[in-house]
């Protein structure tokens, strides 16, 4: 994979969102069938492909300190997905009754086929959700976006990453001069009546009860029409760090935690990625693990419909535990 080189916006210090935990022992997450203690590892079956994510490529105008996919202006480990390749997966998703197509990067609006893929998606009757930083790459497409909004209304949602409700924290993660342009992009989307959402993060020790009102104040001040109390409109994500220790998830954990595997993201979604050097895109279990060969599910959605073994620290920290503990 290409290294993440400096961009003009590169953050200068450590991420404010760093996970505080010991290093991950090597024996954990080693075998998809059993945990280091020899217990049966949890798995998640696909109940229905509700959301198909298309990874548009890892290139990004930013190089955030803890970007889970290691995006940057030079990392093209995942190359630009082409509209032709995307169409094959849209065909298959249509036949499977998929409701929504998600676009994530990198920054999706850097992909030269992005607008063609959006047109194809919305024209087929899918809902579309685009994750964007709302900066210059998106702003280049204002006219095309207004046309899509005109024709498809709230079938198109743009979810803007605003890592924190305070500018200094956002810029510590995302780099200098990343706050005002993102706010400006959000204001533009809001003023033009787009269906919008915001993705934020919680600092270590920060609770949702503290963060949601702070986002609400920010949105009110800035004239951004997002209901900060609605988890569907303001998502606040826990931290991830694959190198830090976390408990493995056994099949007994569901009952212990009172969690249902059908609520886990990989029960209802998959992601298409096109890795550099490979002739065609592949399907991976979810948006969080694009590179691990253990989570490459196949070349078609049909092949990728088998259960996923939760054999990665992100499965535990991000999806299942989310701050809880499971001591089976």
- Assess 289 for contact with ligand SF4 (CB under 6 A): yes
Per-residue contact track with ligand SF4, 162 to 181, x per CB under 6 A?
--------------------
Nearer to ligand SF4, 61 or 195 (CB): 61
- Assess 253 for contact with ligand SF4 (CB under 6 A): no
**Number of residues written out for the chain:** 328
Nearer to ligand SF4, 127 or 248 (CB): 248
257-261 contacts, C-beta under 8 A, 24 or more apart: 257/320, 257/321, 257/324, 257/326, 259/320, 261/42, 261/43, 261/44, 261/45
DSSP character at residue 200 = E
How far is residue 135's CA from residue 62's CA, in Å, rounded to a whole number?
A: 10
Considering only CA atoms, which of 270, 276, 248 is closest in space to residue 33? 248
- Asked if residues 124 and 94 have their Cβ atoms less than 8 Å apart, the reply is yes
How far is residue 175's CA from residue 169's CA, in Å, rounded to a whole number?
A: 10
Among 92, 100, 107, 296, interactor with ligand SF4 by CB under 6 A: 107
Q: How far is CA 142 from the centre of its chain?
A: 23
User: Shortest distance, CB of residue 39 to ligand SF4, whole angstroms?
Assistant: 17
For the chain, how big is the Rg over CA atoms in Å? 19
- Assess 81 for contact with ligand SF4 (CB under 6 A): no
- Assess 67 for contact with ligand SF4 (CB under 6 A): yes
User: Shortest distance, CB of residue 123 to ligand SF4, whole angstroms?
Assistant: 26
- Assess 129 for contact with ligand SF4 (CB under 6 A): no
Q: Is the omega angle on the peptide bond into residue 173 within 30 degrees of 0, that is, cis?
A: no
How far is residue 96's CA from residue 83's CA, in Å, rounded to a whole number?
A: 20
- Assess 288 for contact with ligand SF4 (CB under 6 A): yes
Among 11, 105, 185, 200, interactor with ligand SF4 by CB under 6 A: 105
Nearer to ligand SF4, 121 or 268 (CB): 268
In three-state secondary structure terms, 103 is strand
- Assess 44 for contact with ligand SF4 (CB under 6 A): yes
- Assess 16 for contact with ligand SF4 (CB under 6 A): no
User: Shortest distance, CB of residue 137 to ligand SF4, whole angstroms?
Assistant: 10
- Assess 315 for contact with ligand SF4 (CB under 6 A): yes
- Assess 106 for contact with ligand SF4 (CB under 6 A): yes
In three-state secondary structure terms, 322 is coil
Q: How many CA atoms within 13 Å lie on the side-chain side of 140? A: 13
User: Shortest distance, CB of residue 219 to ligand SF4, whole angstroms?
Assistant: 20
Question: Of all helices (H) and strands (E), which one includes residue 67?
Answer: none
Residue list 216-245, contact with ligand SF4 (CB under 6 A): none
Tokens of 320: 């299942």
- Assess 200 for contact with ligand SF4 (CB under 6 A): no
Name the one range near ligand SF4 by CB under 6 A: 59-67, 136-144, 214-222, 231-239: 59-67
Nearer to ligand SF4, 60 or 218 (CB): 60
**Contact residues for ligand SF4 (CB under 6 A)?**
44, 60, 62-64, 67, 69, 71, 105-107, 133, 161, 264-266, 285-286, 288-289, 308, 310, 312, 314-315, 318-319
């Amino acid at each position: 994979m290409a290294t993440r080189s400096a961009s003009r916006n590169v953050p200068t210090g450590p991420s404010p969102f760093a996970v505080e935990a010991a290093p991950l022992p090597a024996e954990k997450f080693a075998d998809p069938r059993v945990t280091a203690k020899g217990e049966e590892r949890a798995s998640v079956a696909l109940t229905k492909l509700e959301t198909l994510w298309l990874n548009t490529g890892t290139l990004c105008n930013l190089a955030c300190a803890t970007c889970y996919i290691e995006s940057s202006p030079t990392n093209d480990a995942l190359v630009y997905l082409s509209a032709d390749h995307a169409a094959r997966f849209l065909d298959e998703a249509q036949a499977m009754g998929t409701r929504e197509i998600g676009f994530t990067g990198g920054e999706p609006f850097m992909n030269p086929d992005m607008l063609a893929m959006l047109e194809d998606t919305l024209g087929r009757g899918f809902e579309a959700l685009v994750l964007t930083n709302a900066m210059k790459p998106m702003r280049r497409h204002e006219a095309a976006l207004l046309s899509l909004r005109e024709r498809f209304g709230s079938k198109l949602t743009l979810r803007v990453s605003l890592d924190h409700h305070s500018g200094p924290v956002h810029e510590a993660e995302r780099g200098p001069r990343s706050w005002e342009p993102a706010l400006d992009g959000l204001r533009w989307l809001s003023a033009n009546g787009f269906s919008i959402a915001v993705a934020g993060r919680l600092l270590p020790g920060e609770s949702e009860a503290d963060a949601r009102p702070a986002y609400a104040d920010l949105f009110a001040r800035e004239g951004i029409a997002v209901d900060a109390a609605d988890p569907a409109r303001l998502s606040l994500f826990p931290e991830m760090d694959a190198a830090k220790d976390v408990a493995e998830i056994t099949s007994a954990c569901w009952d212990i935690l009172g969690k249902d595997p059908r609520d886990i993201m990989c029960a209802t979604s998959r992601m298409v990625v096109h890795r550099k050097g490979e002739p065609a895109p592949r399907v991976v279990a979810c948006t969080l693990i694009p590179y691990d060969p253990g989570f490459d599910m196949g070349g078609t959605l049909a092949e990728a419909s088998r259960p996923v073994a939760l054999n990665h620290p992100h499965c535990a920290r991000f999806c299942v535990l989310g701050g809880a503990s499971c001591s089976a």
